[in-house]
A and B are shown apart, each in its own frame.
Chain A
Amino acid sequence: MSETILEVNSLHKSFGSFKVTDGIDLKLNKGEALGIIGPNGAGKSTLFNLIAGGIKADSGNVIFNGLDVTKLNLFERSIQGIGRSFQIPSPFSGMTVFENLLVGAHFSAGLSSAESERCAVDVLQRTGLLLKANRPAGELTLLERKRLELAKALSTKPSLLLLDEIAGGLTEYECHELVELIKSLRADGITIIWIEHIVHALVSVVDRLLVIDFGVKLAEGKPDIVMNDPKVQEIYMGISAE
């Protein structure tokens, strides 16, 4: 049951002289859900991009399902099974919601036309977007865009799903719905890494919490233990309680 799906070894990334990711190690088992928190500019999104392939590491490596994907591009890692959502929703605004989902099903999951259509309908139902299927994606509301962002990632049939601040800007109820959806994805066996500022939503889903600041790991472990860590309270809660 504890088969490793993702292994990150001493990952380094600098932008100029600024070290954004400074030697991070990470190991994730299949079916696990990991939450990442940290102040703005701590290097969370960079770490995400290093795993998904949007940014190439200066040194260190990323092993996914036993395959060294460090040198692979974003689209190749997507085909391997790493799905991601973007912090700022980036829908294909000139396409319908349905067509938005066909893209990942076709190109990342490698499905045939008929299978892609079925996959897209499944994802539409799961994410509550079925009634919006024929809407141009550019006309969606913020909540719908956030859902589409998640739906697009799901259309690639990922085994590892990276969620980047997907709950931001949602109401309490919408956030609750989202949490339930993510829990159901977990139940399907999808491994999840979730970056989120809304900590209570995060801790209700994840098994493990990782706190990063200045590109280094500050704390890691069970959510309740990590949240009570004095270092975390000082840095993270100090900022969130402003």
Chain B
Amino acid sequence: MANMQDFLVTRSTKASQIAIVMWVLIIVALISMPLAVNRGDMRFIIEIAYYLTLAQMWNLLAGYAGLVSVGQQAFVGLGGYLMISGAVYFGIHPLVAIPIAGILIGVISIPTAYVVFRLRGAYFAIGTWVVAEVFRLSFAQIQSLGGGSGMSLPASIVKGMADGRQAREMLIYYTAIFILLGSMTLVYTLLRSKYGLALTAIRDSEPASDSLGINIFKTKMIIYVVAAVVTGIVGGLIFLQKLRISPDAAFSLPDWTVAVIFIVVIGGIGTIEGPIIGTIIYFMLRELLADYGAIYMIVLGIFAVVTMLWAPKGVWGVISKRFNLQLFPVHRRLISDTEAKK
């Protein structure tokens, strides 16, 4: 009989080793980008960065934990409002206010979870949406935050962030890149850990996970809170870039949740690669169809329906199956010692 000494557990594959080089190049490119591109392009990259981060979070929720939320805009909006309130009323530097907002949102998300977790499936989805609407309507009542028409970040605070416009935009750019890379690292590390095993198990079969000792409620709760915190941080970043907030923009379902669901579903739900591919497709379609108005939404809709019908695992699902590819090695493979020495 063979012993464990005869086996090794590995995760890397040839493709994933090549992918590491690719990731390093992309990270270097993102960091050096401000040297090469103009302000408009930088804003565009910031937007891609926050959409990709939102998509990774929604994917964790819906793709792994089975929590199909259509109310993530609640946390985007809260992040924006808490960042601006912190800066305006407490004199905190906006970049410091963002992580503080993240922590507060984590705290707020726990009682919210206890409410929405009582609901299942479609009812859960509706419940999260209702919660987001409650936040939107509540913030519209707060006169000190501009009520229904919202407020702007005062020029003094904006100017106080950094010396000059260029330095400020650079600061926001690197914050966006930091948040993106941080959240990608978080998702990757999480999925490689034993919690990733639990999450993937829950994704594939809840009854079987339950019978193998996984505390499903606790696991889902952790994911819900993590997603809320990161989504809130992104919200803070979005409105720091926009410099203006209103309840309708902050708690917008189409902007912060529908677009994100589109990205994850066409890219490939339940994989790390999926949201990346989805973000690329989403922005390509958006740029391509920017001049066609309403047709843009129709094309997006058709694209989503076609993907769901013919490739339920998204574009990445098709690619990874066809070429047996994995760009983020999260799976463990058992190889024999002799095989490993080769």
Contacts and interface: CB of A to CB of B under 8 A. Distances in A.
Interface of A: 52, 54, 73-75, 78-79, 83-84, 86, 90-96, 98-99, 102-104, 106-110, 113, 117-118, 120-121, 124-125, 130, 133-134, 152-153, 155-156
Interface string B207-228: 1111111111000000000000
Interface in B283-319: none
B165 interface: no
A93 B205 CA distance: 8
Interface residues of B, number: 29
B208 A107 contact: no
B63 to A, nearest CB: 11
B333 A108 contact: no
B201 interface: yes
Contacts of A134: 333-335
B118 interface: no
B204 A108 contact: no
Given A99-B197, A125-B1, A125-B2, A94 B213 contact: no
B120 interface: no
Given A102-B332, A121-B7, A125-B1, A92 B210 contact: no
A121 B335 CA distance: 11
Nearest to A102: B197
B207 A107 contact: no
B334 A152 contact: no
Contact of B197 (A93, A106, A153): A106
A102 B209 CA distance: 12
A52 B213 CA distance: 11
Contacts of B197: 95, 99, 102-103, 106-107
B35 interface: no
Contacts of A153: 211
B278 interface: no
A146 to B, nearest CB: 14
Nearest to B8: A117
Contact of A156 (B201, B212, B331): B212
Given A118-B4, A121-B7, A125-B1, A75 B201 contact: no
Contacts of B1: 125
Secondary structure of the A side of the interface?
helix
A108 B9 CA distance: 21
Most buried by A among B210, B213, B214, B332: B213
Contacts of A117: 4, 7, 9, 334
B270 interface: yes
B332 A92 contact: no
Nearest to A52: B211
Contacts of A109: 213
22 contacts: A73-B210, A74-B210, A75-B212, A75-B213, A75-B214, A86-B208, A90-B205, A93-B204, A94-B204, A95-B197, A98-B9, A98-B332, A99-B200, A106-B198, A107-B198, A107-B215, A110-B213, A113-B194, A121-B334, A133-B333, A134-B333, A155-B212
Contact of A75 (B194, B215, B333, B334): B215
Contacts of B211: 52, 54, 74-75, 78, 83-84, 86, 153
B93 interface: no
A108 B332 CA distance: 19
Nearest to B205: A90
Nearest to A79: B213
A133 B334 contact: yes
B194 A106 contact: yes
A99 B332 contact: yes
Contacts of A83: 211
Interface string B1-33: 110100101000000000000000000000000
Contacts of B209: 75, 92, 103
B208 A92 contact: yes
A44 to B, nearest CB: 17
Nearest to A134: B333
A104 B4 contact: no
Contacts of B213: 75, 78-79, 103-104, 106-110, 156
A92 B205 contact: yes
Contacts of A103: 197-198, 201, 209, 212-214
B244 interface: no
Contacts of A102: 197, 332
A131 to B, nearest CB: 10
Interface string B308-342: 00000000000000000000000111110000000
A67 to B, nearest CB: 16
B212 A78 contact: yes
